[in-house]
Structure 1
Amino acid sequence: MSDDGGPVGPRVIVVGVDGSDTSLRAGAYAWGLARRSGARLVLVHVTPVGTLGALTPGGAMVMREAGAQVDAELRARLERIAAEARDVRYEFHAREGAPCTVLSRVADEERADAVVVGASQQAGHRLVGSVAVRLARAGRWPVTVVP
């Protein structure tokens, strides 16, 4: 508890969600943290429109359409959760770009006190670094990685 008796903790929490099991667990963890601390929750879905997709005919469009479908599914799921648990103020942002860059930008724009992401399940990230590792290396906010 703070000196005034209110909860102590982050006031703005940014969480990356992409529909994977680990990102959904990260979202649930961040939701609980926001509820307990009275924080505003900013959920961010990033559609990566990479250079490989742009190299194939219509590749970028396919990636955007897939991203829009995931956005819609995540929004619907979030609305169902929010209808049952009205005690969290939240926003949902859908953006395109590199996940680490977009999450960093949103965290800075929203003046986040904490960033939450799910652990990467891709083996290659052990070598080149996951979004979580790159966010932590940025060193601008505490980063929680949910398994």
Structure 2
Amino acid sequence: MTEQQHSSQFERGTDGPKVIVVGVDGSASSLRAAAYAGGLARRQGALLALVYVQPVMAAGAALGAPVAETTDEIAEELVAQIREAAERAKGIFEVRWEFHTFRGDPYNGLVRAADELTADAVVVGASEQAGHRLVGSVAVRLVKTGRWPVTVVP
């Protein structure tokens, strides 16, 4: 491989992360994960990509529940919280960030987000649901995928 071929080839993680994806859903653990990822992004000079995966609830939609409106409201509320936190930290804590929404289940949505955004690292909050200890959480599934370093924040 020539030097020119090598320099144009994408290689993840060689100089630290450039894009850090963090899953947010409004839960306390996801907000702690966002804070942790924000600090990591600031120290590394990386882009912080905050990702909310809007659940697709076919059963709720079949019953006439306004699922899309509800999840859109959650996304808007999350963006407002993030903007407010970024404004409070302005001048003290500068970080480049973007907010993205994807539709689907949390695991597949985060995988798609990490792939499309060319993530170098993924940060998620630990699951707060007791049943996940038995069947596996989104965090465990992301770690098993093995495509990016995954940090699980308690």
Fold similarity call, TM over 0.5: yes
**TM-score category (smaller protein):** 0.7 to 0.9
- 3-state SS of the aligned residue for 1:79? helix
What SS does the corresponding residue of 1:103 show, helix, strand or coil?
A: helix
Q: In structure 2, what is the equivalent of residue 92 of structure 1?
A: 99
Q: Deviations over 1:72-112 (max 9, x none)?
A: 11111111122233521111011211111011011011111
Q: How does 1:26-41 map to 2 (within 5 A)?
A: 26-41=33-48
Selected match of 1:80 from 80, 84, 89: 84
- Match of 1:115? 122
Counterpart position of 2:60:
53
**1:53 positional shift:** 2.2
**Contact 2:22–2:49 at 8 Å: present in 1 too?**
yes
- 1:12/1:41 contact within 8 Å kept: yes
RMSD of aligned Cα (Å): 1.4
Q: TM-score, normalised by structure 1?
A: 0.87
Deviation for aligned residue 1:70:
1.0
> In the alignment, which residue of structure 1 is the partner of 2:70?
66
Once the two structures are aligned, what percentage of the paired residues are identical? 61
Name the larger-Rg structure.
2
**Quick one: distance in 2 between partners of 1:98 and 1:132?**
13
Partner residue, 2:6 = none
Task: Please list every run of 5 or more consecutive structure 2 residues that lacks an aligned counterpart in the other structure.
Answer: 1-14
Q: Deviations over 1:23-46 (max 9, x none)?
A: 000000000100111000100011
Secondary structure at the aligned position of 2:31 is classed as helix
